[in-house]
Amino acid sequence: MFTSRSAIETYQRCPRRRFWEYLYLGKGIRPSDTSVPLTTGTAVHAGVGHLLNFLRIGAILNEERIKEACKIATDKYEAICSEKFKGVESNYGNEYTFKEQKALTEGLVILWALVEAPELSKHYEVVEVEKEEKFVLVPGKSLEIDTIVMEGRVDAILKNKEGKNSYTLYNLKTSKRWTTYNRDSFAYDLQGLTESICVKKRWEREDEIKNNLLNCVEGAGLKKNHADAIEKCISGYGVRNLVGVRYCILVKGDYKEPWESAGFKCTHSPIVRGYKRDNPNGTDYAHSWYFDNPNNKSGKGALGRGWDPFNVWEKFEIADWVSACWEGEVQPEAKRNLLDIVQLFEVYRNPREIEDTLVQIQHQERQVIKVAKLANEIDINTEGTEGRSKWEEMEMDAYLAKYFPMNRGSCIYPYACNFIPICHKGIKPTIDEGWEFREPHHEGERESQ
């Protein structure tokens, strides 16, 4: 059996959702009928990951490489949509969202290269990028429970230039909006802890290999120059101190109805939604309605009358627009709004907190996997029959109520749960009839299926 941070976190938010999404029928299920997705985060990760690999080998992020990364990101977005969603052009809302999010994806990758890449190059060496991590969380010691393997994927591991053998995990995310609450929440998030556990477990295994090799060298009585050469090869596995997590949050902007129209939603971001005003000499452009203005009592300014919104991708190449805004050719007084799209900060993770988290998730997952196995045995395969008997349905419902209770506070907050039809409307999930098996995010689980 496999588990991950997202599965663990889902159980903590709502045990019932964890069962349906990750454990039902041994795989977990998800709705198959979804509109065009806002998969910007996945696509942006692909582009930024490409740039991180350039930094890893010490390459300069020139215009050509940034353009290449943008293409990788937008191609990723197109591939996800074309694979899962047909007939995008038949629905105006879907088509609009597709074009908008593709443009936003490109712009976010460019801004990452402008704002964050120089900071990383100045303070860190990029050691690894998007490396799959896994370790045995719970050994299978009896017939009651299988071995549980914990999987994760860290966006990057950074070596601090200022500290000897000091390392920092790198976590890239996209978010609709950014507030003090959002930032404070990362000091207590589970992802930074579970990724720290995964990396530290791998380092422990590597250190064990190193020590075994050194013992072999010593025991074999090799000549000193041979022994020194071998020790030099594995010297990279020396003492490594994991000090915390560096977060980069790319703020996409609120996804809501625009003030000038109704019936569909759009993303309010300077990258994709600009403003224009015609004048006798041509057209003025701006990227932000509100901006800092120290000359006003409030400290804020606004564009005012005569300015109309427009879709940036319909008038400009996104790279040209972002460049013009960044260089101050468009609304130089509002450059702070562009900088605010890229939020950067670091969080120190206490070693004791990491150890406590490991104990907690070991206990949780041992119980979750054990009861899920029994629940799936009750929900027997009824292919070729008229379905489960009333007794079997009652037993299944009672078992879920006991071991996978619903957290009703999570049904519609922070967004409507996909499993409301099952939990509250009595819909029975059927594969190929509105539901499909969940696609694993990590290599180990994918290969096992």
CB atoms inside a 10 Å sphere around CB 320: 12
Contacts of 371 (CB under 8 A, 6+ apart): 399, 403, 404
Question: Tokens for 360?
Answer: 């907690």
Picking from 155-169, 224-238, 247-261, 345-359, which range would have the lowest pLDDT averaged per residue? 224-238
CA 84 to chain CA centroid, Å, is: 19
Cα separation, 371 vs 144, whole angstroms: 9
Look at strands 124-138 and 148-160 and give their pairing.
antiparallel
Strands (E), 299-437: 300-302, 308-311, 342-348, 435-437
Q: Locate all alpha helices (DSSP H) within 237-317, ordered by sequence.
A: 312-315
Average pLDDT over residues 61-78: 97
CA 428 to chain CA centroid, Å, is: 30
Contact status, residue 276 vs residue 260, Cβ threshold 8 Å: no
The pTM for the full model equals 0.89
Instruction: Give the residue from 351, 43, 19, 381 showing the smallest Cα distance to 192.
Output: 351
Look at residue 336 in the predicted model and tell me its pLDDT: 93
Q: Locate all alpha helices (DSSP H) within 57-168, ordered by sequence.
A: 63-84, 92-123
Picking from 176-185, 232-241, 383-392, which range would have the lowest pLDDT averaged per residue? 383-392
pLDDT digits (tens, 9 = 90+) for 172-192: 999 999 998 989 999 999 999
Q: Which contiguous run of DSSP H or E holds residue 315? A: helix 312-315
The domains of the chain are located at 34-252+344-349, 270-333, 365-448
DSSP string, 57-72: TT----HHHHHHHHHH
Instruction: Give the residue from 224, 193, 235 showing the smallest Cα distance to 350.
Output: 193
pLDDT digits (tens, 9 = 90+) for 6-53: 999 999 999 999 999 999 988 999 998 665 656 899 999 999 999 999
Question: Tokens for 136?
Answer: 């045995």
- Provide the pLDDT confidence category of residue 264 given band limits of 50, 70 and 90: confident
Phi, psi (rounded to 5 degrees) for 58 = 80, 20
What is the spatial order of strands in the sheet that 273-279 belongs to?
282-286, 273-279, 308-311
> In this model, does residue 449 exceed pLDDT 80?
no
Cα separation, 438 vs 420, whole angstroms: 17
Contact status, residue 159 vs residue 246, Cβ threshold 8 Å: no
Contact status, residue 331 vs residue 285, Cβ threshold 8 Å: yes
Q: Cα dist. 48→106, 107, 254, 356 in Å?
A: 10, 11, 22, 32
- Provide the pLDDT confidence category of residue 69 given band limits of 50, 70 and 90: very high
Question: Tokens for 140?
Answer: 């299978």
Look at residue 385 in the predicted model and tell me its pLDDT: 41
Contact status, residue 249 vs residue 182, Cβ threshold 8 Å: yes
Cα separation, 190 vs 101, whole angstroms: 28
Contacts of 65 (CB under 8 A, 6+ apart): 51, 54, 59
Q: Cα dist. 281→276, 277, 314 in Å?
A: 13, 11, 21
Paired with 254 in beta bridges are 268
Picking from 231-245, 297-311, 414-428, which range would have the lowest pLDDT averaged per residue? 231-245
Picking from 47-51, 251-255, 277-281, 429-433, which range would have the lowest pLDDT averaged per residue? 429-433
Instruction: Give the residue from 361, 378, 34 showing the smallest Cα distance to 201.
Output: 361
> In this model, does residue 62 exceed pLDDT 90?
yes
**Chain mean pLDDT for the chain:** 88
Q: Cα dist. 242→76, 165, 188, 236, 431 in Å?
A: 32, 9, 17, 15, 44
Residue entry with tokens 């990101």: 73
Cα separation, 344 vs 114, whole angstroms: 13
